[in-house]
Structures are given as C-alpha cells and as structure tokens.
Amino acid sequence: MIRVLLVDDHTMIRKGLRVLLEGYPKIKIVGESPNGSDAILKANQLEPDVVLMDLSMPHGLDGFSASGEIRKLNRSVKIVILTMHDEEIFVQQAIAVGAHGYILKNSHGELLFQAIMSVYQGKHFYKTSVSQEIIRKWMKAEPTKLPSVLTVREKEIVRLIVLGYTNKEIADKLSISVKTVENHKTNIMQKLKLDSKHELIQYAIKNKYLDLAL
C-alpha cells in the first residue's frame, strides 16, 4: 500500500484527488494539507511514501519550499509536483528541490497513478512540455548561482511574481501594502533594465531566484 499525502490550497481539488486516487487499491490517502507549512508537519507526523504537492499556495510556504524542507527531514519521501505551471523555470526548480515527479493538473487520472507508482519505485516521472533530454541535463547539472543587484526583499518579490502570486497575495504574504509591492516591482524592472514579465522570468532562471536560500 502506497501512503500518499495531498497538498493543495483548494479544498475541492484535494477532495477530487482523494476520490480519484482511492479508486486504486494500491493507494491509501493518509492526509491532506492546505499549504506548505502544514504539509511539512503532516509529512513528519504521517510518514507518507509520496507527497502530491501543489506549487502556488498563497497562505504559508509555497510548494517548492515545502518540498525542499520535507526532503531535508526525510530523504525517503518521494515528491510529485502537481501543478498548472508548464514553464521551464518551474520544472527546473522542481528538479533543484529534489522532486521525483512533475505532472500537470489537466493530466488524466491514469497518468497521476503512473507518476505515484513510478516515484514509489525510485524512478523519476516528469511529464511536461520540456523535453526529456533537457530534463536529464538539468538533473545532472551542478547548481550555480549568479550575483544579483537586487536586495533580499526584491528577490523575495521576484520569486513570488514568478510563482504566479498577485500583488495582493504578495502584499499579504510579506505583510506590506499593495502600493509598496508595486513600487518594488517598478524598482526591480528599472534596476535590471527589463521591459516585460517574460524577461524577468528569464533573469530569475539565470540567477536561481527560486532557490530556498532566498
């Protein structure tokens, strides 16, 4: 029996996943978490074999941070990222935090079951638009970090922007005003001499702004 912990900030998604996965005799849902902070506690208490992890969770730690912490506490736990994000930066960071699997929320149930089975057996299971050749290259690469002209707070904001947080969610998470967030974003773009969110994402990729140390 494969023990699975479900992590997503949407109750309906968690309940839907539970119903779907409990249809497979080899899987047992041992718990649910609404955010990354609670997921770390539940993973420690419930000792799941596999954690099915969402990424963008406004309240508490995001999925990347939670995955990294869970892996630090128990290296035997397998992490499968289940997200709507299909961009390279998310896949690359999933590899960096040690996630064993990565699939999209619009995938069919059988693929999700295959992902859980594969990582439980010690394999990697990444099904995204990023080619398997690139994924294998990233898995073999040594992590690097480039210098940055941004302050710690600005790095935090870049990280949250790339994760898909709104100005209001960033403000709530950092306990600052929406206006302050907007001012920071303007300063960031001016400092980096960037004109678009796409350019900001590329900058974030090069500078590893999704690393846990930020």
For the chain, give every domain's residue range: 2-140, 152-207
152-207 is a CATH 1.10.10.10 domain? yes
80-96, pLDDT tens digit by residue?
A: 999 998 888 789 889 98
Cα 109 to chain center, whole Å?
20
139-186, pLDDT tens digit by residue?
A: 887 655 444 567 778 888 988 888 888 999 999 989 999 999 999 999
User: CATH for 2-140, among 2.170.190.11, 3.40.50.2300, 2.40.30.170, 3.30.450.20?
Assistant: 3.40.50.2300
Q: How far is residue 57 from each of residues 23, 35, 62, 98, 162, measured CA to CA in Å?
A: 27, 6, 5, 19, 13
**Residue among 178, 176, 185, 174 at smallest CA distance from 214:** 174
26-79, pLDDT tens digit by residue?
A: 999 999 999 988 999 999 999 999 999 998 887 667 888 889 889 988 889 999
Q: What pTM did the predictor assign?
A: 0.72
Kindly give, in sequence order, each residue whose CB lies less than 8 Å from that of residue 88, ignoring residues fewer than 6 positions away: 130, 134, 205
Q: How far apart are CA 202 and CA 198, in angstroms?
A: 6
Contact 70, 40 (CB under 8 A): yes
- pLDDT bracket for residue 213 (50, 70, 90): very low
Residue 212 has pLDDT above 60, yes or no: no
Which of the residue ranges 6-10, 88-92, 153-157, 199-203 has the most confident prediction, judged by mean pLDDT? 6-10
In three-state secondary structure terms, 189 is helix
Contact 202, 208 (CB under 8 A): no
